[in-house]
Amino acid sequence: MVALAVAQVALFITLRGQQDVVVDGVVHGQALNLTVTLARLVDTSPPAESQRLADAFGTRQSCAYVSAAPPADHKMNASESRLAHLLAERLHQVEARQLQITIEPLARSAHPCDQDVAASKLAGNDTSSGKPFRVVALAMHVPLKDGRWLTVRTAIDVPGFWNRAAILSFLFSSLAVAAVVVVVIRSQTSSLSELAIASERLGRGEVIPPLAVNGPAEVAATRQAFNTMQERLSQFFRDRLRLLASISHDLRTPLTTLRLKAEFIEDDVVREDLVKTIEELTLICEATLAFTRAEAVGEETKLVALDELVYDIVSEFRMAGSNVSAEPLPSTGYPCRPVALKRAVRNLVENATRYGSSARLRLERSSDGILLSVEDDGPGIPEDQIEDAFKPFVRLEASRSTETGGIGLGLSIARNIIVAHGGSLVVFNRPSGGLSAEIRLPNAA
């Protein structure tokens, strides 16, 4: 675009220099020679013959006359001054400051001589041809030896400001520059577009191959930095999962030992209390191990029919005797990690059936993405405790029993999975009663 702007400015400057074109035409044409020759003839001829000589030199494009009165004062511009100096050099005995040169559009000139010339040019030119020319009047006033003034007025054709040639030249040059700009911009932005798509996929938790390091230096450096960032994030995630798995695994042996020792406690109440606590800790360790193992597998992203995934979950819970239903679902394909996503939805349905008597699933697709909601008719959650429900191992169920309240990982795991897909999970109390959990997934890149 900068190159196109420069081309436009260059064209404008060229067209603005048309006064110089006029001067060059005068220098190389007959107007200057005519004026010099006529001035010398009039100076060496009797005064009575002056006008006859001037009339004899007249043509269809020029006229000349001798007058006693000097021309009106006129401050010459650069082009007119240049022409005055050239004329003075040829006249020898006249200085440039003594001359008067004017250049103005012929149509604006009120001099009778110019009007005659204008009428002559209109009669002699084919105005229907659409020739891209305009006419200017050039007046050269030369002082004679006897104090009189010789004036030679000439009409000169000058290319118009927006003539056909200029317009075509401008269009072709603009198209050429625009084509080059488009090609360059596309070559530069294609790499950035690929980088943006890769970033979006990484944000959804997909496993993507390293990007090819190519393109301009800045783009190549950015792609290399992206590859390095992805590798570091993956390594950090793997290390964290490995640490969690190790801790959970290492706790199993001492928990088993505690369970065996608890069996030898004679006090039944203390023994049952301790065994229940140990079983709860064991369940937490097993759930953590299962979660870390599932995440460590690095499930590949696949195009999945979400409606079929929801129907499968509904069928599983119905077979187990739970009251779970789904509204008629639209056929919805979506790239995701199906095992992980299915686990997230299953956790939400488990919570709905645990705290309410039924669960209803609804799937919608819009321009903003995917909406999957799970509704129940349970007591809901106090508004000030909704965010706490997503914290690991937090149970809002008053009995604190693992049979009725779980171990407090369901919502936490579900949110982690949804966030890893680039989406969000929110829960809120419905005005009509019960709780609604909404999964929102972005449109695929």
| Residue 380 in this model has a pLDDT that exceeds 60 | yes
Q: Are residues 113 and 51 in the same domain?
A: yes
Residue with tokens 């020759």: 37
pLDDT on residue 129: 40
| Residue 63 in this model has a pLDDT that exceeds 60 | yes
CATH label of the domain that carries residue 393: 3.30.565.10
For residue 272, the one-letter residue type is: E
pLDDT bucket at 29, cuts 50 / 70 / 90: low
d(CA 337, CA 213) in angstroms, rounded, equals 28
Helix (H) or strand (E) holding 158: strand 149-159
Q: Are residues 145 and 223 in the same domain?
A: no
Please give the tally of structural domains in the chain. 3
CA distances (Å), origin 337, targets 289, 343, 385, 405: 19, 10, 30, 28
User: Ranked by mean pLDDT, which of 154-158, 297-301, 360-364 comes out on top?
Assistant: 360-364
Q: Does residue 192 lie within any of the structural domains?
A: no
Q: Are residues 286 and 355 in the same domain?
A: no
pLDDT on residue 254: 83
Q: Are residues 227 and 303 in the same domain?
A: no
DSSP state of 301: P
d(CA 195, CA 214) in angstroms, rounded, equals 11
| Residue 114 in this model has a pLDDT that exceeds 80 | no
Query: What tens digit of pLDDT does each residue of 227-285 get?
Result: 898 888 878 877 777 777 777 777 777 888 888 888 888 888 888 888 888 887 887 77
Q: Does residue 402 lie within any of the structural domains?
A: yes
* 420-424: average pLDDT: 87
Mean pLDDT over the full length of the chain = 79
Give the count of beta carbons closer than 10 Å to the beta carbon of residue 145.
Answer: 11
Q: 193-230: string of b/e by CB count within 10 Å (b at 16+)? A: ebbeebeebbebbbeeeebeeebeeebeebbeebbeeb
Question: CB–CB of 288/244 below 8 Å?
Answer: yes
| Residue 213 in this model has a pLDDT that exceeds 80 | yes
Least confident of 9-23, 67-81, 101-115, 371-385: 9-23
Q: Using only C-alpha atoms, what is the Rg of the chain?
A: 47
d(CA 385, CA 390) in angstroms, rounded, equals 9
Q: Are residues 218 and 264 in the same domain?
A: yes
**Which range marks the domain in which residue 272 is found?**
202-298
pLDDT on residue 399: 46
Q: Does residue 39 lie within any of the structural domains?
A: yes
Q: Are residues 259 and 352 in the same domain?
A: no
* 211-232: average pLDDT: 85
pLDDT bucket at 178, cuts 50 / 70 / 90: confident
d(CA 354, CA 371) in angstroms, rounded, equals 23
pLDDT on residue 162: 57
Q: Strand order of the sheet with strand 133-143? A: 62-67, 149-159, 133-143, 100-105
CA-based torsion, 144, 146, 149, 150: positive or negative: negative
Residue at which a domain ends, from 270, 298, 326: 298
User: CA dihedral defined by 261, 266, 270, 272, rounded to 10 degrees?
Assistant: 70
| Residue 294 in this model has a pLDDT that exceeds 60 | no
Q: Are residues 83 and 153 in the same domain?
A: yes
pLDDT on residue 268: 82
pTM value?
A: 0.49
CATH label of the domain that carries residue 220: 1.10.287.130
Question: CB–CB of 309/344 below 8 Å?
Answer: no
Q: Are residues 335 and 287 in the same domain?
A: no
Specify the 3-state DSSP secondary structure of 397: coil
Q: Are residues 209 and 247 in the same domain?
A: yes
Q: Does residue 177 lie within any of the structural domains?
A: no
Q: Are residues 257 and 402 in the same domain?
A: no
Residue with tokens 């400057």: 13
pLDDT on residue 130: 45
Q: Does residue 410 lie within any of the structural domains?
A: yes
pLDDT on residue 103: 82
d(CA 80, CA 88) in angstroms, rounded, equals 12
pLDDT bucket at 21, cuts 50 / 70 / 90: low
Q: Are residues 146 and 252 in the same domain?
A: no
Q: Are residues 12 and 147 in the same domain?
A: yes
Least confident of 6-15, 163-172, 241-250, 378-387: 6-15
